[in-house]
Structure 1
Amino acid sequence: MAFIDRECVRQLIEAPDPDAALVFVRGDCVVLPAAEIDDAHQGLVIIRRRDLTAQLHGDTITDQQLDLLAERLDNVVHDMGA
């Protein structure tokens, strides 16, 4: 079962806050602005927007790139014990 899909990744990339993060909360992945990531959520951060965008190359992001990133990030969630 995948926890992260292409749309999760797209939402993070399009987040207006450059410090936003994809966070695993109660079985769901949500994009939170940096100001909403408190101590309780800090250990649940999968990736921050700035770190994700550093992995992207080119001006156009394809669905294939999004799927590949989603698969990698989904592995991170599974490694967290989900």
Structure 2
Amino acid sequence: MPLIDRECVRRLLESDDPDATLVFVRGDCVVLPGGEVDDAHKGLVIARRDDMLPHVPDGAPTDQVLDDLAHRLDNVVRDLGG
């Protein structure tokens, strides 16, 4: 069962915050504004929206693109011991 799914990635990419950051907290993916990522959360950062945008083709990302990104990010969480 994946820890990061399509909807986590969608929330990250569609966030209104220009510094949106995906953080894995207590078993859940949470999108926080970059300014709210404090010392307690820094080790739990999975990705920043700006890091993901180069992997998204122009226009709205397809479900396949979201799934591919989710799979990559899920591996990151697992490497962190999520």
Q: TM-score range by the shorter chain?
A: over 0.9
Segments of 5+ residues of structure 2 without an aligned counterpart are none
CA displacement at 1:58 relative to structure 2 = 2.1
* 4+ long deviations beyond 3 Å: none
2:70 and 2:15 mapped to 1: Cα distance?
Answer: 16
The one-letter amino acid paired with 1:41 is H
Matching of residue 63 in structure 1 with residue 77 in structure 2: no
Alpha-carbon distance, 1:55 to partner: 1.6
2:12 match: 12
Offset at residue 43 of structure 1 (A): 1.1
- 1:48 maps to amino acid: R
Cα deviation, residue 56, structure 1? 1.1
TM-score (norm 1): 0.94
Percent identity, aligned pairs only?
65
Q: Does 1:23 align with 2:26?
A: no
TM-score w.r.t. structure 2 length?
0.94
CA displacement, residues 25-81 of structure 1 (integer Å, 9 cap, x when unaligned): 111110001121101101110000111112212213100100010011000000001
What does 1:19-58 align with in structure 2 at a 5 Å threshold?
Answer: 19-58=19-58
State the distance in 1 between where 2:19 and 2:34 align. Answer: 5
The residue type equivalent to 2:8 in the other structure is: C
Gaps of 5+ in 1: none
How many residues are treated as equivalent by the alignment?
82
Query: 2:73 matched to which residue of 1?
Result: 73
